[in-house]
Amino acid sequence: CDRILWRGDGIEQLSYIRGESRFSDHRPVCAVFVAEVEILNSSKLGDDVDVEDYLQRRHSFYEY
Q: Give strand ranges (E) for 1-64.
A: 11-18, 29-35
- Over 50: is that where the pLDDT of 55 sits? yes
Does pTM surpass 0.85?
no
Contact 19, 62 (CB under 8 A): yes
pLDDT digits (tens, 9 = 90+) for 9-48: 999 999 988 887 778 777 788 889 988 887 777 666 565 6
Q: Nearest 5°: CA angle at 62, between 58 and 64?
A: 60
pLDDT digits (tens, 9 = 90+) for 23-33: 877 778 888 99
- CA 40 vs. chain centroid, Å, equals 22
Print burial letters for 30-55: b (CB count within 10 Å at least 16), e (below 16). eeeeeeeeeeeeeeeeeeeeeeeeee
